[in-house]
Amino acid sequence: MNEHFHFKRWGLLVQKHWRENRKKYLLSLGAIAGLLIIWFSIMMLAEQHNPYSEEWQVSTFYVGLALTGWLFASLFFGEMAGGPKAMHYLSVPASALEKLLCAVLFATVLFTVCYVAIFYLVDMTMVQVANKVLPGWAAEKNVIYQEQAVVNVFRAPVNEDGNYYYWLFIAFIHTQAAFLLGSIYFPAYSFVKTTVSVLLVFLFFVLYVSQLLINLLPEGTYVSPDFTAYSLRSYDYRKGIKLADWIGDTITFLFQYGWASLLCSVTYFRLKEKEV
């Protein structure tokens, strides 16, 4: 039997994990649904003529996904903080890779699927409620009510920079991997510590680009999101530097798939070297 990954053993691990945690997970999903209903209701009271605009629905979806997802991921390896649960977890006859893939399945894949399902369930219900309740109120107050519609939060946007929402989703996957790593890296207060760490990395990146790179290059600005095209201000934006397309493609590929893979690899090694 393969010591690193065996599908049947992984299946047993997934079944065991679900059976042991299903009550906690179902309650968490219920709590997310409750919070979304409260938030949608507040919005219905606050913006009665147009409570659920496209921007608002998209923002609610992604902010909710990020906050609940990060919290969920940062709690995943909470049992590894030490003591009996950690000993139990490490002693289960499955490989570190199988345990990691089980974590990724629950904390990223299944969580995201469930969140999307719950969001749309609440969204569709609340949009229907709004369309039933608010027009009457608007007529009474002589206000124009805008018919509400459920938004496709994954739809390609109309702007020219490509699928903005897709990139938001990719960023979520990467940060989710970071919070999963944080949950095993920081035994206590992992959510807070990982948030601070991610912010520090982001700050470092911003400072690196805005301070170091900008000072090394002649006055100008980046004109592509992958930092491969730079326009020189002295030439009135008509002249600049552009690296080969393959460099841009590589950077884009790494951003799409590299970070999450790298962070998952680090999590794998942390899991392997964990002592308790």
Partner 1 sequence: MITIQDLQFSYKKRKVFNGLSLQLHAGHIYGLLGKNGTGKSTLLRNIAGLLFPDGGSIRVLHHKPGERKPSFLRDIFMVAEEFYLPDLRPELLVKYYAPFYPNFNKQHFDHYLKEFEIPHDNEPQQMSYGQKKKVLISLGLAANTPVLLMDEPTNGLDIMSKSQFRRVMAGCIDDNKCIVISTHQVKDLENLIDRITIIDEGRILFDQTIENITRRLSFGITFNQEDVQHALYSEASLRGNAVIMANTEGEESKLDLELLYKAIILNRASIQSVFNA
Question: 19 is written with which tokens?
Answer: 């059976």
Cβ proximity to partner 1: between 42 and 87 the closer is 87
Q: Which stretch binds partner 1 (CB under 8 A): 26-34, 86-94, 109-117, 148-156?
A: 86-94
CB atoms within 10 A of CB 142: 6
Query: Torsion-angle region of residue 177: left (phi > 0), alpha (psi -120 to 50) or beta?
Result: alpha
Cβ proximity to partner 1: between 93 and 215 the closer is 93
Nearest distance from C-beta of residue 17 to partner 1, angstroms: 9
Task: Pick from 27, 59, 67, 85 the residue near partner 1 by CB under 8 A.
Answer: 85
Task: Pick from 9, 50, 78, 112 the residue near partner 1 by CB under 8 A.
Answer: 9
Nearest distance from C-beta of residue 264 to partner 1, angstroms: 18
Host H or E run for residue 87: helix 84-91
Q: Which stretch binds partner 1 (CB under 8 A): 2-10, 139-147, 210-218, 259-267?
A: 2-10
Whole-number Å distance between alpha carbons of 187 and 136: 54
Nearest distance from C-beta of residue 163 to partner 1, angstroms: 41
| Residue type, position 5, single letter | F
Q: How far is CA 245 from CA 222, 252, 265, in A?
A: 15, 10, 28
Whole-number Å distance between alpha carbons of 52 and 57: 6
Residues within window 15-34 making contact with partner 1, judged by CB under 8 A: 15-16, 19-20, 23
Beta-sheet strands, E only, within the chain: 220-222, 229-232, 240-242
Q: Does residue 25 sit in helix, strand or coil?
A: helix
Task: Pick from 57, 68, 74, 95 the residue near partner 1 by CB under 8 A.
Answer: 95
Task: Pick from 90, 105, 171, 243 the residue near partner 1 by CB under 8 A.
Answer: 90
Cβ proximity to partner 1: between 88 and 141 the closer is 88
Question: 264 is written with which tokens?
Answer: 């998952």
Task: Pick from 41, 47, 69, 93 the residue near partner 1 by CB under 8 A.
Answer: 93
Q: Is the Cα torsion angle 126, 127, 133, 139 positive or negative in sign?
A: positive
Residue ranges that bind partner 1, judged by CB under 8 A: 1, 3, 6, 9, 12, 15-16, 19-20, 23, 83-85, 87-88, 90-96, 98, 272-273, 275-276
